[in-house]
Amino acid sequence: MPSGRGKVLQKLHRGVRGLPASGYFCPVRNKKKNIVLEKLLVLDYAAEGKSLARTDGKVIFIENAVPGDVVDVRLQKNKKDWAEGVVIHTHSLSADRTTPFCDHFGICGGCKWQTLPYEKQLAYKHRQVEETLKRIGKVPLPELMPILGAPETTHYRNKIEYTFGTREYTRVKPVKAEQGAEITAPEPFRGVGFHAKGFFDKIVDIQTCYLQAEPTNAIRNAIRIFAIAQNWSFYDIRSHAGFLRTMQVRLCTTGELMVNVVVGENDPEKIQTLMAFLTKEFPSITTLLYTINTKWNDSMNDLVPVVYSGKGYVIETLTGERAYHFKIGPTSFFQTNTKQAERLYTVTRDFADLTGNEIVYDLYCGTGSIGIFVSDKAKKIIGVEMIAAAIDDAKENAALNNLQSTAFFAGDVIDVCDDTFFETHGRPDVIITDPPRAGMHDKLIQKILDIAAPTVVYVSCNPATQARDLNLLAEKYEVTRVQPVDMFPHTHHIENVVQLKLKP
């Protein structure tokens, strides 16, 4: 005979409705695998910004819900111990909810946490870091320092990329004409905005975006209106045809503004017309470029942007012990939130415990921004990065700041940092590592363990992979300080800085 719980589950799978419900238990409808969980109380946030609820011990991950909501959820994935679903009906809203400020909220797919007050966002992110480090890292932790929130929660990005397209994403289904009715062909869609989540070919046509300060919206909307008036084609990714393809806008705290328009056709007349229009309408653009891309993909790495006006790059400034200047070209990487990058790098420098006598190895150094930022407190900075073009930028940035005690090398850390390298440049007193979301390769972790520098500072944009790596580093290191930093308000993304000290 099935247990009491087994009988309930049997009834649920038969589609029985009307069973008593509570915050943790709900009736289920099951028709042709169309399972709906009714009156679920959303309890918390989980990884990747999804909310979670529970029913009879099973965890349900939910898109587009806020803790405190009571909702009906249609399951899209259904496993033994967990399931994923989407809200199809809301019975009551959480008291914590706030009104989204963006007209595109819920369609665009970005800034998903606009429905939460910023203080609540920070609280959830802080707890996410702590629980992730404990659950995955399984290492002793000090008390986490209070999360560093962003003073500006809108208009904080210095770079945005927009996409031109002919296929619009909208949640409104087209109305079918009645039989025999006269059909008027609609105007073909031509829009510019962001890729819709889960669609490689559809875009959300954006009127006002709050991620970057003006004139970003004015420039994007002006190009759309002007191009449609000229009857220019927008790029269609399926047919691989169209003139306007993408555009990047980079706005620095220095006031310098760079616009790079990527076109899918090598049409000098159209390009000249567009460049002349932008030059006249937006004199605030300090560097205007265009890039011709006739490939199937949007990668910029093998393309050559053409400078139409200006110096071909912009200068951004980070203020630390002094003002550090960075030359940023159309394909350069730089932290997208300049003000919070200053705070992130300040934490990194403080965690390095520098006295002016240390040799610092900056791994995954990119264009050298962290190493340059902490350089005035160190004896020497050695940066290592796989991407050769980034190392070229790092060397330029070091020269721009008149730094004599920095050296940057292209290559894999595992290959570069051998005994001969240490004999030439010295063994590190401090290692700073800032890997991509995938975290560090296990061979690099072993290399760090072999080097055994007294202090390691681990900067991460993914606490889950950071926690995994901390578990491996625990062979020789203990976690001594933890500082979460919010770089991207209204999203679930979070940066975290960890200080590790070599065990006695």
Q: Name the token pair of 266.
A: 């090598």
Instruction: Give Cβ neighbours of residue 486 (< 8 Å, ≥ 6 apart).
Output: 121, 122, 125, 147, 148, 149, 150, 340, 494, 495
Q: Name the token pair of 503.
A: 């065990």
Q: Please identify which residue in the block is written with the tokens 């289920």.
A: 28
Of 500, 482, 147, 161, residue with least CA distance to 340: 147
Q: Name the token pair of 467.
A: 């926690």
Q: Which residues pair with 234 in a beta bridge?
A: 244
Vertex 205, ends 201 and 206: CA angle to 5°? 135
Q: How far is CA 305 from CA 259, 278, 279, 316, in A?
A: 11, 17, 17, 20
Q: Does the CA dihedral 178-183-187-188 come out positive or negative?
A: positive
Told to judge if 461 belongs to the known catalytic residues of this protein, a careful annotator would answer yes
How many residues appear in the chain?
Answer: 504
3-state DSSP assignment of residue 472: helix
Residue 469's CB is within 10 A of a number of other CB atoms, namely 23
User: Which amino acid, one-letter code, is at 291?
Assistant: T
Of 64, 67, 68, 66, residue with least CA distance to 76: 64
- Residue 421 has φ and ψ, to the nearest 5°, of -65, -45
Query: Which one of the listed residues 108, 111, 417, 461 is annotated catalytic?
Result: 461
Determine which helix (DSSP H) or strand (DSSP E) holds 445, and give its type and residue range: helix 442-451
**H helical segments located in 352-462:** 369-374, 388-400, 413-416, 419-425, 442-451
Catalytic residues: 461
